[in-house]
Structures are given as structure tokens and as C-alpha cells.
Structure 1
């Protein structure tokens, strides 16, 4: 990227001045491909910037409003959250956790989840959040790849009125993955769990470090700006896990600027997303707390006990800024349309969607139908490799985020004109960029994003310029899609299907629906011997179950279609459009249909414009 001074760099410098540094940085940026070095020689602590510096004036003010799925609630002030984090810091240090150690969080959004993240940041431990719905095999793979010393989990987690057996899944996973020294269990549901050497109850661990016990130091460590804070798993590449590492100062300042751009600085903020989503951590913890604001954390599903739960939360805590994925926004619209209940959300001022391709119709619904002109709406675009959202089309504070210098280029890197599709690239230096990529296929990821167009970051996102010259994002160029805020590799699903003994060939792609979230569609041709296995529905449901066990529930296609053959009369685009039309013509989900290739060819003759 261009080494000359830019407005973007000036914005990064201004943002850095809002943080408390234990040692000021001397040089803003040193070019060092592929990730550069930022805030050189500087030291700070993320936990201190989110808590300690606010205590003189905000000790008794709310920091977190938490609500559990069963309806239990808790408001935690800055003073109380600081005490919780200090107590846990002492306990973890007493248990041997040190700077640079790794901690895995297999947790839903609990008050303890926020405390653990901030305690890790206080110590200088590196944490990663593992999704709670993962099956045992996928959970074991995440643990094996991350190699944590300590692991936090729950006895069970609430999800739509049922209990996910988190502790038992962890027990099974750890039986296959050695190396975790301490498993710390939060009692959430009260169910009985098996107990093994190395297991500790969270409440026992923290009780031992309270006043009266021998005290460990709870002060925040002074850490280099580039010290690793958080490790996030990307979609697998060629069957191998790939992860990225976010640096402390980079992620903290990115979160602060995202919050300023999407919500301003005051008023309760809520991001409707689970803890593993980096946007949920950025806009749910780091961003609001950096500015001394209030944030809302919700444990469960938005449709439990009914479709009005989300609106109840907004009203109960006076939420002013609400962030969510477009898929969540569509669900809220559809749920509301199916009832006579009109949400009373007079507190709501800002709504932004992030994480997927924008749905302009849903944003208009929030602005016009829900807000009656009071609500400002925006769509945010970004990537996890860049630290989250890098631009909002209608930001609350126009100077909140630096200008990323987005342009659209062709395959050779040349800028394209209006109404021409191309790939979006960043041309401005970006401090939110990760500090490392790890895994057997890490170089592939680096080549894809940082080396294809020297001096620029290639996003892999397709876009075009609209009539006003604004960038309109069209989706991914590669075979990775976002499902509920998590990256899912369509290539991984296809390869898993093709490796199954029942399957001869497969195709997997995303299908978009006018009034529902996007879904994953799988199309297969079966091996000649598969007919002996049983009815077609038994075969396809077995395939779906195997995918869930191997890759997790998010990678489970909504539908499997079975073809008699894949012909060569159609292009891949034509074939997929025809199959998507056939699939969406039926409301059946999960089960399979047996199709003739001639039917696909006939459907492809439809005028798609």
C-alpha cells in the first residue's frame, strides 16, 4: 500500500489518541508486508481501556445489561464489572495462567463470558471463542488447532427452551485432544455433569481469589500494541483449519471506531449475535466499553419464548443503536408481519446490518414501518481479516472510520467503469488488519488477499458502481458464504459430500430468497450401488446428518436435490440458477427430490431477468 501520508492514517492517529497508553507509540506505521506494523513501540492494555479509566466518573453507571433466555436478568455497573474482572484475573494468575497463554471459551453470552474476555486481555492471555452448537468432532478440531492451556465451558446452555450439553461435549472432545490443563465450568442450567481431573467450577475458582484469600496481582499488564488478543477460525481450506490473529491495539481501536460510526458514543447498544462472531465482541464489548457506554448481551434465541422477544429487549433496556445481520433483520420483519403486535421501540435511533449482503427492503422497513421516520438505517461492509466493519454507507459519525480507499478492479487489477462487475480492493493502509494467519493453508489465504494485487488488499467480494457512483456489493467471488455471521466453506461441504460412499458427484451453492434468509443447497448424483441402501429419503437424511457431525450444524444444507446426472449443456451459472428455481418452487425443507437432468435444462430456458 502507498506509504505516503493519507487522510486514513490521520484518522488512525486521531483514534489512537483517544486510548490510554502505558507507553506512547513512536511511529504510526511501518510498511512490512503483508500486515505492516502499527503503533510501533506503543504499549497499552485493552481491559484497562475498557474499565479502569472510566471508574472515577462511571463506577456506578451501567456497563452491561444481560438477559438470559429463561428470562433472568442482570445489570452490571462499571465498578462491579471491574471487580469481577480483577477477581478472575487473580484467580487465573493463581492457577498459573500467564501472558501469551491460550484460553478457549466454549460459552454462550453470559456475564462471565465478558469477564473472561476482559480478564484474558488484562493478563495478556490469548483467547478464542468456539461456537456452542458445534458437534464433538468439530469441537475437537477447534481445540486441537488452537491448543489452549485453559478452557471455559458451561454445564449446559439454553437454546430455544432446550439445553445443549456443553460439558459432556467438551469431555468427549478432550478425550481425543490432549493438552488442556484446566477445564473451568460455569454452572448455568444446574444439570448433572461428569467430573474429571483438571475440572474446576468457575464459582470455586473465583471464590478462592476473593478478599481474605492469598492475593495474586490483578493489575493490567502493559502489553505491546501488536500483542495477540484474539484468534478467530476461518472456513477450512482443503480440509485444514486456518485461523487469524487480531492484535490488541488494532482490534481495540477498530472496535472503538466501528462503535462511533454505527452508534455514536452514548445510549445502550445491542448487537444481536452470538459470542464467536467478531462483530458481537467488537460492538458488544470492546466498542461500547471503550467509550464508557452501555451494552446489551442476550443469551438465547430471538424467537424464544415468542417472536416478540427481541422487541421486548429493545424496549426494556431503552436500546438506541441496534446491529444485526441482514438474515436476522429479515426474520424480525417476517415475524412481526405474521402477528398483530406492533413493536413499541421509541428509544431506537439507529439500526445497522452487517455481516452479509445488504437487504435494502428490510432497511426501508425499519426506517419507515418501525421507525416512522425516526430511525436512521445503515449497512456496513467489512471482513474479519480487516478487523470487522470498515465502512457504513450512512454512518452516524462520518469521521468515525477512516476511508479504506475502496475501488473496483478487473482480474488484472485495473479500475472498472460504471455498471461493470469487478472485485473490491482496499487501497489505503488499514490498521485493523490481522497480525497473522496460521494453518497449513495460511499462505493460500495470504496470496488470495495480500499478494494478488501488490500494494492492495483483495477482498474477494464482487461489486459494481451504481448510477450515483456508489459501490454496490454483489456477494463473494469465492465459495465462502456467511451463515448467521459465521463463515461457511461451500467447497468443504462439496468435498465432504463427494468423499461419501453414496455420492458420485456434488455441487453446493447459496440460494437467495425474497422473504427469507439465504440458504445452502446441495445437489448430488448418487453412486450406482446406493439404491441398495434404502429409500431415497433415508439416503439424503443420512448425508445431512453426516455433514452435521463432520462440519457442524451451520454447514448443513437446507435441502439436498438428487439428479440422475450432471450434463454439459449448461454453464455452471445456468445450472445453479435452474436448480435454485426448482428448489424454491417447493416449501419442503431437508428432504430430497429426485430430478431428471432434462428438467433442469428445461427450467434453464426461463427468462431470468
Structure 2
């Protein structure tokens, strides 16, 4: 790991006006790092303060912050309190009447705006309809929808009546949908006839119909988005517009540990994991990060380029609305119908916080700086990245071109299983390129070596040593798998599976998943380190590095590369890539092969799936590929490899 210097310092005005500075002043902290250390040393103090500062409203006050009597893995939070995420994110804000909850933009340019009062009434109508369909506390309501206004309505309607909302990625095939509906025992599904993506209507209801056999789904509610003809089964299917229930509905009081969300995560093998997230967890983790780290103010407008099927979708919706803020959703792709779509949205809606994944930013960067500069982005206050480690060049582009060196880059990392972040910076701290700053507030993370020793200035495993409210309540109907996945490597310690590093100044960096780490002749290297160097070459659009088994060295490095428009594969370019890696990391990491491919497999959230590339190289079963946005990329890689 190279030593890095500070490249961005927060303007004094930004620090003084930040939410985190107000907290520090009120609680007597002189700097942010000191505050982080206090929050992780004394989690009882921190989470009680978080509840206070984030204005969580309770039906019944809690008696104790947390109780670990059943073990750290099953910590109960806010003992004997009563709360509801929908009430906090919606009901209590309805009196603001004309305050915008969210703005939605369709791919065709249609714009719809919902005030908190309008959204409250719509949620109540659907909540009453769900009750009429027989949905009650603990039942699962599935959302097979893209980012529509109706998606927000369904999310809160389910939670409001004590049901569990289960978003399903709208790009899934019928097999992936069926797996999730059958495993969760979902009672109702809300979907649409179709949604627009890159100029065409993508069918949703027909795909869902193929998935319903063998499930317990009793009712399907269909949003008519594209006026396409779909089959409607009598007594089961109903159009959204036919729901004419009352706009008054009581919110159910829930135990803070009761399930609010069920989010399935898919790997390359095995059954998808159903991550159970609590009411207290989804309220606190999302709003904590958006308030203290993204610095959302009442007048701000927040956009994360995401999907409801990815954790960041509900994270944005619940977190922003708990704080009474305004957020933006959009249908379709970020570069369609125009490549400058995101920059035009920032200008039109005066967006103040923009988030996305490194892959999405690299996609937008390829269209050139002029696409950005032709728009007024002066409203922007911060940018954010998550999903995978960001390379140096893309980080610098975000800083200089998009943020005009005014905006901090809140590079964050965590996971679905904690509904938020283990690591992220603050707008009140200086930044080094690609850093994740410090641990998240209340998140007692560390870096362990193979023996379980805490290490610094040495790459190791990201772990968490204390519980947090947003940690999953276990996997749906599979508690043993939950324990095995996160708590079995070191007793009483959450093993997250990321490859982390803390430098001499206490700044954190990530290098991808530990199971993606490349081991050459006993030396270990995170793929993100190599990819950062490869991506700095002008001709390179994106890269993915994997370790391929080798009889003598254990593994050798293979580099898969996509090129920017106008560039073609060549021996000279291959040599440039190889020479640059050798110069940076030494001969042991000289790539055994550089493979030029048309595309790399990635999820809708932008995460490159290196494990699938490894499976293609090894000619192994690919397992569950339903999360991929571009599954055809794997076939193209097979063709290139021959």
C-alpha cells in the first residue's frame, strides 16, 4: 500500500454548518475522530444519542438500549419500546402538507412530485387494501417493481400494518423471482405491466406470472405503466387504480426488533440469503449516515443512483424521509435517453447530494467532461460512492469535474446485512484519494490478520466487534447459516469478508472481497489495487483482476479489460498494461494473461462479479446469475477465451 497524502480539505464554512459539527459542539468533541472513537467505545451512549438527535418517535419509550443476554449474535435493541419505521418516515411528517417527499422522473421525461401528505394518503389506501387481502403482522409483501412512485407507496404500506416489505430486483428472471417468493411465503405481490429501460417496455407481469407456480401468493396488484396488454387472473389480480380504500389507516405499533424488510442477497452458488432487517435498524442506520455523513438538511434534495432491489434503494427512501427530506427516483438507465441525463437532473431538480457506484461513474465519465460541464451543478454539496472500491482516476474525476473541488466524496462501504455502512468519511474531515475515512458512528470495526490479531498498516480482514441495531436479525428461516456466515470465524466477532487496510494516519481503505484476493507465491493482493493502476491507462474503460490456479505459484494474475470507444486491443496496449503493473507491484504480480473483452459482468448496482469471471475461466457452474444486469457478458468472455 502506497503512502497517500491529503488531497482535499473541507472549507471552513462547510464544517461549521454541518450536522456533525452541531453534534460535536453540543456534546463537547474537538474533532471528528475523537467523536468516532467515543461512539465505538461506548455503543450504549452512542445509540441513545442517535435516537435523540435523529428524532426517533416512539409509541412507547424503550427501557434499555440493548440486551445481549441471548448472545451478541441475537442482541435485542431498545428493549420494551414500541416503534414503526413507516410512522417515522411518513406519518409524522404529513402535517408539513406541501413539503416534497420525493420527485420521480420516468424514462420518457414524465415528472411526478409527491408531498408528504399526498404520499401519506396513498400509503393508507394501499395499507387498507393489503389488510382487505388478508395481510397482517409478519406477512410478506413482495415488490417486483423498478423505482416507481408506487414502489415507495408499497414499501411504507407494508411496514405500516406490521407486514414485511420484500423488494425484488425488477430485472430478475422468473426462476429468481420464484425462488424468493417461495422461500419467503409472500402473500401479496405488487408489480407493473412493464417498465421502460433504454427505450423499450420491459415486461414485468408476464415474467411474474411464470414465477407464481408453487408459491403462496394470493393477490397480485398491477401498476399500469406502459399500457401493455397483460393477462389478469380473476379473483387474484387487480389493477393499482382499482384500489379505492379509505385514506385513513392506523399504524401498527411494533417491537423495535420486529422485521420491517426482507432483502435477498445472491451469491454465485447456493440459495439466496434472506436478510431480515428490523424497524429500529432501518430507521437508525440509514438516517444516521444520511444526516451525519451525507449532511442532509431540510432544504436538500438527495439522489442515489440505485434500484429498490439493491439495499441502497430502501436506504435512501427510509433514511431521507425519516429526516423529513426530499429524494429523487428515476426509471431506466442513468445514461438514457441522453448520456447527460444525471447532470441534467441535478440542474433541473437542484440535487444537493449525488450517490452511485464506481462502475456507474466510470460509465458516465466515458462520455467526457463536457457532458458534465454544460450543466449547472452548483447545487451539489457532496457526492457518494458504494458497491465496490473506487479507483483513483474515477475518485479524482468526481472530486474535480463533478464536485468542482467543493464537494467531499463520501466513499462508503457496508452491506445489505447491516443496511448501511461499516466505513465512511464525514464532510468535516480532510480526505485522501479513495479513502473510506473512519469507522461509521457506533460501528466498532477492526482489521484482523489470519490469527485474529488486530493489525494496522497491514492488509487484513474487516470485522466488527460490537453489535449494531441494523445488523440482520438472522437469515429468513435459516438461523444456522446466518451464524456460520458471520459469527463462526472468530467467536463473538462479525466477519464481513472484505479486505481492509488502515494507514499511518488512521484512514481506512478497502480492496474488495477477501475471497477475491489474489495469492501469488504466498503474497496477497486485493484486485482493486491492481485495477486502479490498469484503469489509469487512458485507453482502459474498466478492468477486473482475478487469481487463476497455478501449479507452482498457487495463483497467477489474469486481467480482464474493456476499452474506451476508439481504442482497439493490441500487443502494444497489452504490454503497456503488463509493464505498468510490474513497475507498481513488482515481477511476482506480472499478469499471466491480459484478456480484452466487450463487457464485464456486473449487477444493476454496478458491482463487478469477479467470482463469475473466475468460474468461467475454471469452466465451473456459474450458480445464481439472476442479479446480473448483463448476463450475456459471460458468454462473450467464453467466446474470447475460446
TM-score scaled by length of structure 1: 0.78
Q: Give the counterpart of 1:280 among 297, 301, 313.
A: 313
Q: Does 1:474 align with 2:511?
A: yes
1:172-214, CA deviations, whole angstroms, 9 ceiling, x for partnerless residues? 111x323110011010000000121301111102x2x147xxx
Q: Does 1:42 align with 2:81?
A: yes
Distance in 2 (CA, whole Å) between partners of 1:186 and 1:433 is 33
Distance in 1 (CA, whole Å) between partners of 2:83 and 2:380 is 34
Return the offset for 1:519: 5.8
Alignment correspondent of 2:258: 227
Worse-superposed segment, 449-458 or 232-241 = 232-241
Distance in 2 (CA, whole Å) between partners of 1:38 and 1:66 is 35
Q: Does 1:336 align with 2:371?
A: no
Distance in 1 (CA, whole Å) between partners of 2:558 and 2:481 is 22
1:520-559, CA deviations, whole angstroms, 9 ceiling, x for partnerless residues? 43565899xxxxxxxxxxxxxxx9xx96996454483734
Return the offset for 1:432: 1.5
Q: Does 1:102 align with 2:144?
A: no
Q: Does 1:14 align with 2:54?
A: no
Q: 1:341 to 1:525 in 2, by over 3 A?
A: closer
1:104-147, CA deviations, whole angstroms, 9 ceiling, x for partnerless residues? 10001111110111111110111111111111222211211121
Alignment correspondent of 1:55: 94
Distance in 1 (CA, whole Å) between partners of 2:162 and 2:623 is 35
Return the offset for 1:406: 2.1
Alignment correspondent of 2:6: none
Distance in 2 (CA, whole Å) between partners of 1:526 and 1:400 is 37
> Counterparts of 1:566-577 in structure 2 under 5 Å?
none
Q: Does 1:373 align with 2:419?
A: no
Distance in 2 (CA, whole Å) between partners of 1:156 and 1:360 is 38
Return the offset for 1:443: 2.5
Q: 1:374 to 1:417 in 2, by over 3 A?
A: closer
Return the offset for 1:428: 3.1
Return the offset for 1:409: 0.9
Distance in 1 (CA, whole Å) between partners of 2:100 and 2:641 is 57
Contact 2:101 2:325 in 1 (8 A): yes
Alignment correspondent of 2:118: 80
Q: Does 1:118 align with 2:159?
A: no
Q: Does 1:143 align with 2:187?
A: no
Return the offset for 1:401: 4.9
Return the offset for 1:444: 3.8
Matched residue SS, 1:301: coil
Distance in 1 (CA, whole Å) between partners of 2:616 and 2:94 is 59
Distance in 2 (CA, whole Å) between partners of 1:136 and 1:177 is 12
Alignment correspondent of 2:272: 241
> Counterparts of 1:388-407 in structure 2 under 5 Å?
388-395=420-427, 401-407=440-446
Distance in 1 (CA, whole Å) between partners of 2:557 and 2:439 is 39
Alignment correspondent of 1:268: 301
Distance in 2 (CA, whole Å) between partners of 1:228 and 1:391 is 24
Distance in 2 (CA, whole Å) between partners of 1:400 and 1:113 is 32
1:230-263, CA deviations, whole angstroms, 9 ceiling, x for partnerless residues? 0111224753232110011111111110111213
Q: Does 1:435 align with 2:470?
A: no
Contact 1:258 1:400 in 2 (8 A): no
Distance in 2 (CA, whole Å) between partners of 1:340 and 1:268 is 19
Return the offset for 1:461: 0.8
1:338-372, CA deviations, whole angstroms, 9 ceiling, x for partnerless residues? 85863321101110101211333323222212332
Q: Give the counterpart of 1:312 among 318, 322, 344.
A: 344
Q: Does 1:26 align with 2:58?
A: no
Contact 1:262 1:396 in 2 (8 A): no
Contact 2:40 2:441 in 1 (8 A): no
Distance in 2 (CA, whole Å) between partners of 1:115 and 1:594 is 47
1:578-599, CA deviations, whole angstroms, 9 ceiling, x for partnerless residues? xxxxxxxxxxx5561356xxxx
Distance in 1 (CA, whole Å) between partners of 2:412 and 2:62 is 30
Alignment correspondent of 2:284: 253
Alignment correspondent of 1:327: 359
Matched residue SS, 2:342: helix
Q: Does 1:196 align with 2:233?
A: yes
Q: 1:509 to 1:318 in 2, by over 3 A?
A: farther
Alignment correspondent of 2:447: 408
Matched residue SS, 1:223: coil
Alignment correspondent of 2:489: 452
1:423-469, CA deviations, whole angstroms, 9 ceiling, x for partnerless residues? 011123322211121356x5344223123222221111112233433
Distance in 2 (CA, whole Å) between partners of 1:415 and 1:447 is 22
Q: 1:97 to 1:248 in 2, by over 3 A?
A: same
Q: What runs of 5+ residues in structure 1 fail to find an aligned partner?
A: 212-216, 483-489, 495-506, 528-542, 561-588, 596-609
Matched residue SS, 1:437: coil
Contact 1:107 1:132 in 2 (8 A): yes
TM-score scaled by length of structure 2: 0.74
Q: 1:91 to 1:470 in 2, by over 3 A?
A: same
Distance in 2 (CA, whole Å) between partners of 1:340 and 1:201 is 40
Distance in 2 (CA, whole Å) between partners of 1:316 and 1:105 is 29
Contact 1:137 1:550 in 2 (8 A): no
Q: 1:191 to 1:461 in 2, by over 3 A?
A: same
Distance in 1 (CA, whole Å) between partners of 2:615 and 2:65 is 51
Contact 1:21 1:44 in 2 (8 A): yes
Matched residue SS, 1:163: strand
> Counterparts of 1:450-529 in structure 2 under 5 Å?
450-478=487-515, 511=560, 518=608, 520=610, 521=613
Contact 1:63 1:294 in 2 (8 A): yes
Distance in 1 (CA, whole Å) between partners of 2:471 and 2:378 is 37
Matched residue SS, 1:121: helix
Worse-superposed segment, 390-399 or 148-157 = 390-399
Return the offset for 1:391: 2.8
Q: 1:526 to 1:369 in 2, by over 3 A?
A: closer
1:32-58, CA deviations, whole angstroms, 9 ceiling, x for partnerless residues? 3213111110101111111222233x2
Alignment correspondent of 1:181: 218
